[in-house]
Amino acid sequence: MKSIRERYQEARDENNCRLLNPISEAKFWQMEVATLRQQVQNLQSNNRQLMGEELSGLTIRDLQFLQSQVEMSLQSIRKKKEQVIAEEIMQLNQKGIVLQKENVELKKEVSIAYQYKIELQNKLFAEGTSGDNNVDRGSGSSEKARGRSKENDASEHISLALSIEEHADE
């Protein structure tokens, strides 16, 4: 479009007197339209040939030129594809690093929470043992509760240990 404007400006500057005449200006634009139509047809034909259509009228030399154009285009496409893939790999690696850091922090938080839980259970157990001396042991309800608590602790500890080992293997 820019080249059309430039040509128009040049033609107007060179032939200012001639373009003042409406008939000559109409002829100029008719020629310009014909030129643009021909360019569009050439581009469409070239595009169809690049797509592998309408090749029957081409010579060996034309086909070789077309092949070299397609190969250059294909190289350019492959380079761009490789560049995009490399950028995506870099982004995914960065996300992986961030996730690993978050995972380490979460493991620390779980470990701290587990240690806190153990401390609380030890305090409760210590309070329960000192309180058991004064409580009638006939019911056995506190012993049953402590037994269940120990079973839960063991299974939670095993589960947590397995979870930590799985993440460490990754």
The better pLDDT of the pair 163, 9 is held by: 9
Q: Using the predicted structure, report yes or no on whether residue 155 has a pLDDT greater than 70.
A: no
Q: CA-CA distances (angstroms) from residue 40 to 5, 36, 66?
A: 17, 6, 19
Q: List Cβ neighbours of 24 (8 Å cut-off, separation of 6 or more).
A: 15, 18
Residue boundaries of the structural domains of the chain: 1-57
> What tens digit of pLDDT does each residue of 92-128 get?
999 999 999 999 999 999 999 999 999 999 988 888 7
Tokens of 10: 């040049």
